[in-house]
Amino acid sequence: MISQEQNDLITRTGPGRPAGEVLRRYWMPAALSDELHGDRPVVPVTLLGERLVLFRDASGQPGLIARHCPHRGADLAFGRCEDGGLRCPFHGWLLDRTGRCLEQPGEPAGSGPARQIRTTSYPVVEKNGILFAYLGPGDPPGFPALDCFRAPATHVFAFKGLWECNWLQALEVGIDPAHASFLHRFLVDEDPGDSYGRQFRDTSAGSTLPMTRVLREYPCPEIRVEETDYGLRLTTLRHMEDGLTHVRVTNQIFPCAICIPMSREMTITQWHVPVDDETCYWYSLFTSFDKPVNRELMREQRLKEHRLPDYAPVRNRSNDYGFDPHEQATLTWTGMGLDINVHDQWAVEGMGPIQDRTREHLGRTDVGIIRYRRLLRTAIRFLAGESDASLPMVGGLDDIVGPACTDVIAPTGTWQDAALTADRERRAGCPWDAPV
Ligand code: FES
Ligand SMILES: [Fe+2]
C-alpha cells in the first residue's frame, strides 16, 4: 500500500501534474484512423484532461487543436471542415491544423490581421491505424522501431475501447500475469482451431494444449521481471507436470503500453491512455507475423462488443457487465461472457474511478506492478530535476526493436532457449523484417 500523496502523484495526469508531465514526453494515441474517415473528418478528443478537436484538412493532413474557439470559446467539434482548416460555426473564424487563425470573415476590413491569433495545437503522426499526438514541450521524440510500427499496414489491425477508470489501474492489469489463471479462466476449452482474433484461445508454441487449459491448471506462476531499454520484460513460468514449463514473455513499454502474445500468429501492443483522471481508452495494435490480418473479421468481432462513436463497451457497469450466475457456475470464472476485455474492464472499473492504493495489499505476484511504479516515480523525479536517470525511450531509440513476446511450452531444463527460439523462428518466417 502507498500513501494518498503517492497515489495522487502516480495517477493524476492533467497539465502540470507530475505523472502527466511524464506522459506528455511521449507520443500518445489520440484516435483511430477509422474515426477520421468520411465526408467530415472531425472528432472531439479529450486527452490527458485537455479538451481538443482532431480533424483532417483538405490536403489530408491531421491537426489537433484546442476544442474551444479562440474567439469566444464555441465548441469546434461542431466546426465546418472547409477551406483548408476548421471553421467555427459561431462567427466563421477559420483555423488551420497548426492552430493559426486564417480568416475572421465577420470583422471589418482593417480591424487587425487574423493571422496573429494562434490557438493551442499539437503535432500528430499516423501509424498503422492510430493517430498519435505529442502534448509535451519542445520537439517530440521519434518512434521506436517496435514490431507494431515496422509491420506493413496489411499486417496490423487497430482498435480501441473506453474504460471508466484511471489509466494506471488499467495499465496495471496488463503487467499482472497471475490474474489470467483466474479472471480469464474458462471451465471448458474451445477448439483452438476457432481461435482467430481472440486472446488465449490458441495453443502455446511447442504444444497441443489450449492456453486456457494451461492457465486453468497451473494457477500459481513464478514471475521474473527485468528492466530493459523500453521498460520491463516479464517472464512468467508455470511449472507443469512431466518436466515441462509454460513460459510467457510479456512487456511493459514505458510509459503506458504493454506488448503481449495473443496467439502464435499475433501480438497485441496496447496503450492505456488517460482521457481524464477517471476515464481512459485502451488502444491496441494487433500485429501478425504470418498472414495479413483479417481486418473485417477482427473489426466485426470487436464491434459486436462496442458502441460507436465513442467505442464504449456494450457490457458495462450499468448492466452488470452481462453477469450470469449460471454461466459463472458452468462456463467462465466471471460469468461475464467470453470476451476477456470485459473481464479486465470489470476488474479495473470495480476498483472505483481511481483505485485507493492506501488500502491495497500487494503480493509476490504483483512484482511487475511494483517495478513499474518504481520506474514511473524515477521518471517523475527526473523531470523534477532530482534524479540523473534518463527517461526510457526518449533518447537512444535506435536500438529498440521487437520486443520479444512469446507463449511456449518447453522442457523445464531448456525453457530459456526454447522461449528465444520460438520467438526467433516466428520472426525468421515473417514476411516483413522483424528483428529482435
Ligand atoms: S466563437 Fe468561434 S468564431 Fe466566434
Ligand atoms: Fe486480463
Per-residue pLDDT of 120-151, as tens digits, reads 999 999 999 999 999 999 999 999 999 999 99
Instruction: Give CA–CA dist 260/194, Å, rounded.
Output: 20
72 lines ligand 1 (CB under 6 A): yes
Instruction: Name the residue at shortest CA distance from atom 4 of ligand 1.
Output: 91
Identify the nearest ligand to the CA of 92 by its number.
1
Instruction: Give the contacts of 283 (CB within 8 A, at least 6 positions apart).
Output: 29, 32, 130, 158, 159, 160, 270, 271, 273
Cα 345 to ligand 2 centroid, rounded to whole Å: 9
Cα 267 to ligand 2 centroid, rounded to whole Å: 14
Q: Could you read off the pLDDT of 48-59 as tens digits, one per residue?
A: 999 999 999 999
Which residue reads 523445464 in cell numbers?
412
Cα 15 to ligand 1 centroid, rounded to whole Å: 25
If one residue of 65, 76, 90, 119 were mutated to test the ligand 1 pocket, choosing by the most ligand atoms within 8 A of its CB, it would be 90
Closest CA to 57 of 40, 33, 74, 32: 40
Instruction: Give CA–CA dist 289/48, Å, rounded.
Output: 33
Instruction: Name the residue at shortest CA distance from atom 3 of ligand 1.
Output: 91
Instruction: Name the residue at shortest CA distance from atom 1 of ligand 1.
Output: 72
Cα 181 to ligand 2 centroid, rounded to whole Å: 9
If one residue of 65, 67, 72 were mutated to test the ligand 1 pocket, choosing by the most ligand atoms within 8 A of its CB, it would be 72
Low-confidence ranges of the chain (pLDDT < 70): 111-115, 396
93 lines ligand 1 (CB under 6 A): yes
Do residues 219 and 181 touch, judged by C-beta distance below 8 A?
yes
**Which atom of ligand 1 is nearest the CA belonging to 92?**
3
Cα 185 to ligand 2 centroid, rounded to whole Å: 10
119 lines ligand 1 (CB under 6 A): no
Instruction: Give CA–CA dist 134/302, Å, rounded.
Output: 27
Cα 95 to ligand 1 centroid, rounded to whole Å: 11
The segment(s) of the chain belonging to CATH 2.102.10.10 are: 27-133
> Which residues on neighbouring strands pair with residue 205, listed in sequence order?
408
Cα 75 to ligand 1 centroid, rounded to whole Å: 9
pLDDT for 399: 83
> Which residues on neighbouring strands pair with residue 233, listed in sequence order?
226, 251
| Cell matching residue 177 | 500475469
pLDDT for 227: 95
Superfamily (CATH H level) for 27-133: Rieske [2Fe-2S] iron-sulphur domain (2.102.10.10)
